Amino acid sequence: VLPFPSQVVYNRVGKCGSRTVVLLLRILSEKHGFNLVTSDIHNKTRLTKNEQMELIKNISTAEQPYLFTRHVHFLNFSRFGGDQPVYINIIRDPVNRFLSNYFFRRFGDWRGEQNHMIRTPSMRQEERYLDINVCILENYPECSNPRLFYIIPYFCGQHPRCREPGEWALERAKLNVNENFLLVGILEELEDVLLLLERFLPHYFKDVLSIYKNPEHRKLGNLTVTVKKTVPSPEAIQILYQRMRYEYEFYYYVKEQFHLLKRKFGLKSHIRKPRPRPEFFIPSALETEEPIDDEEEDDEKWLEDIYKR
């Protein structure tokens, strides 16, 4: 008898801990016997209609139970007559994600450092060593929109308007999170993300936290940390905040939903002193992370309702 759900898609957002999670999934797929379907395509997140149909067909015919993972913007399976899978994902603070990507493109991570690999060999030297503050303050394309509008399209989808920074893409992304994603976690609280994944999808994620905490696995995970990262000036960071306004609205929305889930299942948040919110945000009452007492029966009912979506 197949477990339910038996079709899971992790359309992983770049530089949000996905390589750490994929390392875990490789171990878990052997341990629990599910089909881990990965893709060799890493730089094609937006697809034509025919490419969407082809990919959906390939995913849908994979042996179940499967977990498919790829850097790709949200795909609407039902639009092409397929069964909509359960989606999961993880995001992080948008400025931190951008900085991680900026330096990773130039210098890679510790795996490359150990093997003397040069990241992005075709990059010109003046671009590779471009000061992050110059890039932001002088409005280079890499440090301005639409390049900074990165996280939302993974949840908004393949519609052309999903690539345009604005309310339309933001609201559609929120809607998809509510209707199609079982869990969207926050990288800053990865252990709690793994705990909830184990609770919601035990046939995929059972024992994930003990594997993650294993010193040998930690050693592997540390190799995926980006090297030579520097912090921009406060003025440059403030400019990034303004340019990434919609990304932050989405991030805080997801974070509040995630904290609601944690409270529902009695998980306390161990919060470091948070970075001040950009001035265009109104602080939310949901940021008091005290666990609430819910009867287990209600928790299971809530899970059943999610699965029935």
Instruction: For residue 299, give the 3-state DSSP assignment.
Output: helix
Residue type, 100: S
Taking the C-alpha atoms of 75, 77, 83 and 87 in order, what is their torsion angle to the nearest 10 degrees? 10
How far is Cα 227 from Cα 158, in angstroms, rounded to an integer? 32
Q: How many alpha carbons lie under 13 Å from residue 90 in its C-beta half-sphere? A: 23
C-alpha closest to that of 161 among 71, 153, 145, 243? 153
C-alpha closest to that of 246 among 152, 147, 139, 136? 152
How far is Cα 11 from Cα 89, in angstroms, rounded to an integer? 6
CA 11, 17, 22 angle in degrees (round to 5)?
A: 60
Whole-Å CA distances, 296 to 153, 261, 300: 35, 13, 6
How far is Cα 201 from Cα 38, in angstroms, rounded to an integer? 19
- Cα Rg, the chain, nearest whole Å: 20
Catalytic site residue 217?
Answer: no
Residue type, 176: N
Catalytic residue among 71, 159, 203, 217: 71
Residues involved in catalysis: 71
